[in-house]
Amino acid sequence: MSGTLSSAGMAGQRVVIIGGGFGGIAAARALARAPVQVTLIDRRNFHLFQPLLYQVATAGLSPADIGAPIRSILRDQGNVRVALAKVTGIDTGARLVETEEGPVGYDTLIIATGARHAYFGRDEWEALAPGIKTIDDATRLRAKLLFALERAEIVSDPKRRKALLTFVIVGGGPTGVELAGAVAELARHVADRDFRTITPKDIQVLLVEAGPRLLPQFRESMSAAAARALTRMGVEVRTGTAVTEITPDQVVVGGEVIATNNVIWAAGVRASAAGRWLGAEVDRAGRVLVGNDFSVPHHPGIFVIGDTAAYRQADGTMLPGIAPAAKQAGEFVGALVASRFGGRTPRPFEYRDFGQLATVGRNFAVADFGRIRLTGFPGWLLWSVAHVWFLVGFRSRFSVASQWLWSYLTWERGARLITGAEVAMARPPETNAP
């Protein structure tokens, strides 16, 4: 083998993990005491807490608050090597992971490469209606939002100003609901405090959901509570209505043409290219169909977890594509691989559902834990504690908790509101998602 990432000369069984998200990190940690050499490959050198990306996009947090270096997370685990590289393919016959920096040999392969947004066959909408899956996505969206306010402050044409101050969020899941609330709060509060020619009444925030209600994963009563909270914040909620066209200057919603320069996508996901790399069977979203231990049929020694996997649970439902599910899958597969070298074989995988949470603005959330259901401020407190606790690293937890407390008491977002026209107007680069 050749290339800077060649694993020639490494002692012991070689386990390669692709992806440093919740699933990949959990799998690596589960292999801490196993007699294996682990190589974790990611195209970025940090672990990202994706559930709080929308806070970066709406200037509530800075990128450093929700990221932690992968090397720091795993620094005390001597059998792990972290490699910064972009994966380009997998040679299953030669048992090689192909990267732009060279091939990496494996005996066992764990793929945890996540997902990107799905535009339902309209990929040309991606440049016009960005979603948020990465730090780059969030910072570009933040620049776009803030630049829209800055432009609206100085334009004289009322139609142009209205288009700049109309924000349309597509998708009524947790991300869409949280974005709608955060955009409404940011735009209206900043307009009220810091601008002279635009007012909160000039700003329109529209949340569009093609399904019959928001938050379909939640109980209907909690979905209704979230919709009422958004309406009180001034968000116009439209359910049972689909977006049929998006252009740079308008969006068509249920046949109605709405002039806007600000469309944000929060509807649907598509898996990474793992299925294509493996030549494996995939579902409609591109997720690899896996067995009950996350192994890939006809590919011995290869496992797929997280958003990249289509895992059917015992009750017939699909494993949800959320962080706790990816983390639990990573822990299970890591323990399963470790058991081959001694130790107890883990029991069959069973997802532990710890409940669902979604926030609507700065003091309202819905929390569904089965018998325990909270809405309003109590739900928001629980949501805040849960998200801070699951951040990687004490510094990140302390930083986020401090920032949230300061923002809550003062509404001050400081330097996070700074942007530039050259950033906001730049076209998003082509995605290099695996």
Helix (H/G/I), strand (E/B), else coil: 299: strand
- Concerning whether 150 is annotated as a catalytic residue, the answer is no
From CA 5, how far away is CA 300, in angstroms rounded? 23
Helix (H/G/I), strand (E/B), else coil: 45: coil
Q: Which amino acid is at 312?
A: R
From CA 392, how far away is CA 66, in angstroms rounded? 8
From CA 235, how far away is CA 232, in angstroms rounded? 7
**Is 50:137 a contact under the CB 8 Å cutoff?**
no
H/E run at residue 120: none
Whole-angstrom CA distances from 111 to 118, 278, 290 are: 20, 10, 12
Residue with tokens 């026209």: 421
Which residue of the set 100, 101, 153, 178 is catalytic?
178
Whole-angstrom CA distances from 49 to 23, 144, 346, 354 are: 12, 22, 27, 18
Q: Which amino acid is at 207?
A: L
DSSP state of 286: S
**Is 115:321 a contact under the CB 8 Å cutoff?**
yes
Residue 98: both structure tokens together: 């192909």
**Is 296:303 a contact under the CB 8 Å cutoff?**
yes
From CA 41, how far away is CA 112, in angstroms rounded? 10
User: Pairing between strand 288-289 and 309-310?
Assistant: parallel
Catalytic residue ranges: 178
